Amino acid sequence: MIKAYLKGAEKVKAIIAQMISRGENIKPLQREISAIMHNEVDENFQAGGRDPSWPVSKRAQKQGGQTLIDKGQLLGSIQEFISGNSSGVSTNKAYAAIHNFGGQIKRHPFSMRIKLRTDAKGNLLRQGTEGLKANLAVFAKSSHKRTATRTYTSNGWTINMPQREFMKVSPAGIGKIEAAAAAFLIPA
């Protein structure tokens, strides 16, 4: 799980700390701060990254669309939270951290065996006679008697993921949070 907390805004943090020490209920302010942070993350997705823009993904280059928004699962998983004296946004997607912070994904070498069906002469059976299906073999079940076992190996590879920081609040967002805190302290 990746969580975003507010960085900067020391004034807001000091004011909230004072309110907590006096025993005041700050839940309404926490909800408002979480909502502002959620809006900021949404704007990051809509803009394709802000300060700096995100590098365009290979999927977006090939298929079109927007970087980090294919089916919208990552964007849809962003949720607000309030926990004790803190508030923010989080996601439960396992791949969120590598997209937000960047880094390397290392796939280790591996090998695997598969059983394919054959005919009486030992030739692989195919899924069809024309087009793509003519190139696809038929997998064998344990009950099939005519099979051929094939072993495939991979040397492993590394994927370099660029940083696409979506869990961040812009300076304008920090200003909105400071204004919300001031409005909470001094109601109109």
What span, in angstroms and rounded, lies between the C-alpha atoms of 102 and 95? 10
Domain ranges of the chain: 2-102+162-185, 110-154
> How many residues are given for the chain?
188
Question: For position 183, what pLDDT does the model report?
Answer: 84
At residue 140, the pLDDT reads: 95
- Distance from the first to the final alpha carbon of the chain: 38
pLDDT in tens, 124-160: 999 999 998 999 999 999 999 999 999 999 999 999 9
The secondary structure of 66-122, three-state, reads ECCECCCHHHHHCEEEEECCEEEEEECCCCHHHHHHCEEEEECCEEEEEEEEECCCC
pLDDT band at 13 (very low <50, low <70, confident <90, very high): confident
Mean pLDDT of all residues belonging to the chain: 89
Q: Is the dihedral of CA 150, 156, 157, 158 positive or negative?
A: positive
